[in-house]
């Protein structure tokens, strides 16, 4: 009741941020894979064009070592996989935090409901106890 509105706003903001994060993470992963494929295709085309140009200049054909290019491409793929794993771990952490936040909010709501029900009863009991203890003092002053 007291913080219910704040809790709802915080949960809505957390869920919206999580949804945005998931969208961005998916988009980044997809675009990184597309960029990798484009770079790989472009690198192969550029190397072939360079080989052909060098061969037109030279008297005898020459070949270049494609192993180094393949190694760089594999390193790039490993980097993309590592970043994807990091994004996945962050997504799992957000899901855990969302669950913990919901559990905490549920606990706060349970405690607030308990206080709403028991507080008036406890207050009445406290008043009756105080009035019974003060009653003999009031009678002594009158006499």
Q: What is the pLDDT of residues 51-63, one digit of tens each?
A: 888 777 776 666 6
pLDDT of 65 reads: 66
Closest CA to 42 of 34, 53, 30, 52: 34
Domain-wise residue ranges, the chain: 4-142
- State the average pLDDT over residues 115-125: 69
Length of the chain: 143
pLDDT of 62 reads: 62
| Residue 143 banded pLDDT, cuts 50, 70, 90 | very low
Cα within 13 Å of Cα(77), Cβ side: 9
pTM flag (> 0.95): no
Q: How far is CA 38 from CA 3, 41, 106, 132, in A?
A: 52, 5, 49, 87
């Amino acid at each position: 009741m007291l913080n219910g509105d704040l809790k709802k706003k915080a949960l809505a903001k957390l869920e919206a941020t999580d949804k945005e994060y998931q969208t961005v993470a998916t988009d980044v992963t997809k675009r990184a894979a597309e960029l990798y494929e484009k770079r790989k295709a472009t690198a192969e085309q550029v190397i072939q064009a360079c080989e052909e140009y060098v061969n037109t200049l030279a008297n005898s054909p020459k070949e270049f070592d494609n192993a180094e290019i393949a190694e760089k491409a594999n390193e790039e793929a490993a980097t993309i996989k590592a970043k994807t794993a990091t994004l996945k771990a962050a997504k799992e952490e957000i899901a855990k935090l969302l669950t913990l936040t919901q559990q905490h909010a549920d606990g706060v709501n349970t405690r607030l409901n308990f206080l709403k029900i028991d507080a008036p009863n406890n207050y009445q009991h406290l008043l009756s106890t105080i009035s019974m203890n003060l009653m003999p003092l009031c009678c002594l002053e009158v006499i």
